[in-house]
Amino acid sequence: MPFNASSMLAQLLNAPVAPGRVVWLGIRPRRREPMLVVQNADFDTVQGVVGDRYTRAGGGRQVTLLQAEHLAAIASHIGRSEVLPADLRRNVVTRGINLLALKDKRFQIGSAVLETTGECHPCSRMEEILGVGGYNAVRGLGGITARIVQSGKVSVGDDLLALSGEIDSIAQAPE
């Protein structure tokens, strides 16, 4: 059941979201292979993150995003001093934005536009990669999944901006 658009909760959910910044990018070339850490990546509406194994056109999991701030929490839950972004096998790591605030929203990174499709729940590999308790350590901290709605280039250092309005009105980032 949708919220009453004039309710306080609806207003809070639609309030402005502070921008974040991309601090890490990774590509999963094949299942179970190490992540490739990159400085920039092409995001394509058909291919997903170019070079990544998830290539479903229009699929809801074309891109996975994680908050850098959650890495310390996950590490704490399993008694480690750190967890690396590649350990969680996400494509984009951000800093300075609560990714869950992007629920039901479109957002821009570099010249690409994405829309949130859901939370990125941990897989059973987290036990294998992080050790006993790894799966539960990531629960609720695994980030979000997104679909690419406008192709573009994304680079480490790019801002992540929540969007409002129509896709056609989005300004292209300078090349």
The answer to whether residue 170 is domain-embedded is no
pLDDT at residue 4 in the model: 78
The answer to whether residue 41 is domain-embedded is yes
Q: CA–CA separation, 81 vs 100, rounded Å?
A: 25
CATH number at residue 117: 2.40.33.20
Provide the residue-wise pLDDT of the chain in tens; the chain has 175 residues: 566 777 887 777 777 788 999 999 999 998 889 999 999 999 999 999 999 987 776 678 899 999 999 999 999 999 999 999 999 999 999 999 999 999 989 999 999 999 999 999 998 889 999 999 999 999 999 999 999 999 999 999 999 999 985 434 444 433 3
How many structural domains is the chain composed of? 1
Residue span of the structural domain in which 155 resides: 21-162
pLDDT at residue 2 in the model: 64
pTM (2 decimals)?
0.87
The answer to whether residue 156 is domain-embedded is yes
User: Got the DSSP string for 44-103?
Assistant: ETTTEETTSS---TT-TTSEEEEEHHHHHHHHHHTT-S---HHHHT-SEEEESS-GGGGT
The answer to whether residue 167 is domain-embedded is no
pLDDT at residue 12 in the model: 74
